[in-house]
Structure formats: structure tokens, C-alpha cells
Chains A and B, each alone.
Chain A
Amino acid sequence: MSETILKAQDLHKRFDKVHAVQGVSFDIRQGEIFSLLGPNGAGKTTTISMLSCLLTPTKGDAQIDGYSVRTQADKVKQVIGVVPQEISLYPDLSARENLAFWGRMYGMGGAQLKERIEAVLDIVGLSQRAKEKVETYSGGMKRRINIAVGLLHQPKILFMDEPTVGIDPQSRRRILDTVLELNKKGLTVLYTTHYMEEAAELSHRIGIIDHGKLIALGTQEELTRTVGEYDTLHISVDGSKTDPGALVEPIGKIKGVHRASLEDSSFIIQAEDANTVLAGIIAQLDKAGARVLNLRVDEPNLEAVFLHLTGRALRD
């Protein structure tokens, strides 16, 4: 297992009236995409703000690349790239001018800065329009420049706070692809979203956050399993030569199978992991001479997990 780059320990943030974050702890490993998934007001931005040294935690601390966000903010800020939820750019400057300005705020300059500006423009695919003022950009283009700024100084870890909110599907797709590509090249990403599909597609691991608390943490498979959700296998067989009913019991006894039943000539099998039980099931069917006509695996999704944990839907 690769080493931990970020370690959040019992982070709390209390505003005047709101206890926005209430003891959040998690680790992010080098090279991983880690998502915080949660509904509006869950505390995602507040958590990222503490990790970005923008808010001082009321309690708790976090180490990023070994530096404390409480006491070594200067070091932390060199290591992290931040893509805020709001588009935080100067609308009356061009994209290139924005990048030049922000690059200088990271202490860059000269040829290195020029080179990086072109590189990040290329990554977000806006080299052609870089001369234009940001205020003339579409929402999706602004979001892409917002991301480019976070990449300028080649951070070890990139914080992305709901980077696809309020944009069209194509732009969203583009951004997700960019994240995947950056990750493939080794960038560690902390991603927040309230879209289950995004978390599912991007993340190596996911933390589900609600009312300021991390209520679940793990890979998508782990999460869905911890709440007692199983993969569901639907297997239709040709029942003309054998009696499928006789096979329900032996299949149910296969290790890893939680429950098996038959509806018409289709088996509905709940298993902890479809892949580990599949071979055994097929072997049973084969032995009895039942031909498989159709097979489908439904993985339990995060939506179901959230529903299970909170009794609420992720999106209201």
C-alpha cells in the first residue's frame, strides 16, 4: 500500500451557531482519488477549507505531506492545489493574465511560469481562448480555468470542491476525464461532490459526510457491503431439460452466497461479491445441465448506502 499523504484527525469546526464539522478523520494515500460525498450543507467545503489552511479547526488537526495545517500552513500551502467551489477568478482579466497572477502568488515567475501556464491551458483545453477575458467565458470554461489555476504550481495533492456544479453534461464529462487523466499521471485528488455517480466513477475510496460527520468510509464495494447490501445476480436458465427448483438449495449453500431464490426460470442470488461466487454457481448449473440464457449483476450503489445510513435520499 502506498504511503499516506493526508491525514485528517478529528477535525471540528464550529461557527457562531453551526457545528459545521464534528470530528472528521480520514487518510488519503498517495496517488488516490478520494471523494467526500455528501448533500448540501454536509460540511464538505468547511472540511476542505480547514485542509487548505483557510479556516482554523476548532479542534483537531491534519497533516499534509507531513506538515500540520495548524502550525505549518506555509509548507502545506506549497503542497496543495485548491480548486474552490466558487469560480474564484478575476473576470476582467484574461485567462492567461489570471494564470500569471495566480502563478506569481505561488512564487513562480519567468520562463517556468510561462511554461506552466501553457501546460495547464493545454490540460484544460483552453489554449486557443486564453487571451479572452474570463467574463466572456461560458460557465464550463470558467470552471476549467478555475481548475487550471489549482494545477499551476504542480501540487502533490489537488483539492477539488464540487468542480462540476452547474455546468452542461459535456463540460462535466470533460472535467471528469481531466481528473482521471491527472490521476493517471500520479496526482492525488481530494474531490467533493453530491453526485453519487461522480464519486462512484472517479474514486478509489469514498467518505460519506452528513451533518458534519463522516458516516461511512471505504471503497465503493466496501461501503455498500458494510451496510448489508449485496450484489444481486439475476441468472435466467433454460429449464426444459432440468428442474431449476432443485438447484436453489445447493446454490444457496455455496460459500459467499447470502440468499438464493427462483422466480419463473430465473435465479435471484444475493452474494457478498458476485465475482467470487459466480464460478461456483456456474459449476452447479453446468453439472445439472442447465443452460444459462442471461446473466446480470447489479452492484449496490452509494445512493442506497446513503439511504440506508440516514434514511434520506442523497439528493432531495
Chain B
Amino acid sequence: MKVTFKIWRQDSPDSKGELKTYETDGLTEDMSFLEALDHLNEKLVLKNEKVVAFEYDCREGICGQCGVFINGRAHGPHDHMTTCQLHMRSFKDGDTITVEPWQAGAFPIVKDLVVDRTAFDRIVEQGAYITAKTGTAPEANSIPVPKEVSDAAMDMAACIGCGACVATCKNASAALFTSAKINHLNKLPQGKAEQHTRLLDMTKQMEVEGFGSCTFTAACEVECPAEISISSIAEMNARYVKAKIFG
């Protein structure tokens, strides 16, 4: 199988980038999309060129490190899938595939397809935890949590922090990510004590980082590999009103 890659190349955060074209031969349908990029990189090395920098680690859809725009869609042509889970069987022989990095002011480009997502970590830093020290825990079954509550918290906790929601949003809003983090803990009895400050501090950090506001276009939920639903944002907003009153 042969495809034409058009890939964003940019040497460093401050340099100017451009799309470069690479005819790539010798691919198979079984290859994952990232393996196709590996294959291209090996060819580039042998031609004495610099490899394309792109992100990955687990290559099984759970670490959240991979993520690029493929033909204009975050994580490629399928819904709810990470870039590393995409396989070449989703493309046809002869296709042209444009590959670009996440684009959002709060995610500056590091190199080629690699962006800096530490803004997410700083949102977490503001309160996506339960303030309790190691060694202070009560017996686990002493806090019963109804299955529905625990399952609902799990739905939210499934976020892998990939940033596709931000990248795909025309406002570059981090509302889906932030709401998932907040709702996970605020739903649980263990998270109740800090629910209001958590919500206020984390949403404030979202603004500090320069993420846009959510206008409910729902573009994010289509791409989210963890299938976090946009109702998570509505829930966060409802809790926000409560936090403002009681917080």
C-alpha cells in the first residue's frame, strides 16, 4: 500500500512550520497509523533526513500521549478512538493523508507534531485530588458507595488526558476535560468535602491557561476516546452555580 503523507514540520517552538509531502510506499493494512509513521521515519533516516517528531507511548489507547489531526479530524477518521488505535485499513491505497499537530493557544508546539499539554497538569494541580495523606485512610468498606454512583464516577474518571477535546473545539475550550476531572471526584462521597473549592479553583485555572469558553458545539464528545459525554459539562456548570452560592 502506498500513500502520500502531508506532514507539519516545525523545528522548534519559535520557528515557522510548513506542510511537507512524503510519498510512502511499502505499507500494509495491518499496520497501525503510528507504525506507518515509524516506517516513514526509517526511510527518512536512511535518506539522511531528520525524523518526524510525534508522540506516543503505550500504543494501546490508554496513556493519552498520542494525538494528531488526521485529514482535519482529531485522532483521525473514527469517533472515540485514539491515534494509536487507528490502522491503515481505514485508508485506501493512493490516499493523501494530512497530519498536523493539535492547534490551541494553550498547547504550544514543541516540534513537528508534538505539543505541550502541561496546561492540563496545572488544572489538575488546582484540586483534582482528595486532600488526605498516605496512612490516614479508614477501612475501605466503611464508606459504602452505591454502584450507580461509583459507575458514574468511573465514566468520568476514564478521561486519558489526550487533549483531543480542546484540539477539536473551535473555541479551544478545555471544558470536557476539566468537567470530567471535577465530576469524577465530586460524585463520590470521598470528594464531597472539597467539592466547591475544587470546582472553583480548577475552572479558574482553565481561564488562566487561556482555554476558550464552551459554547456547547458538542464537537468534543465525538472525538473523545473515553466517550465522556457533553452532559458532563452541563453537570459541571450546574455544580458551578451551587459552588458560587455555597462555596
**Physical interaction between A and B:** no
Residue ranges of A at the interface with B (Cβ–Cβ < 8 Å): none
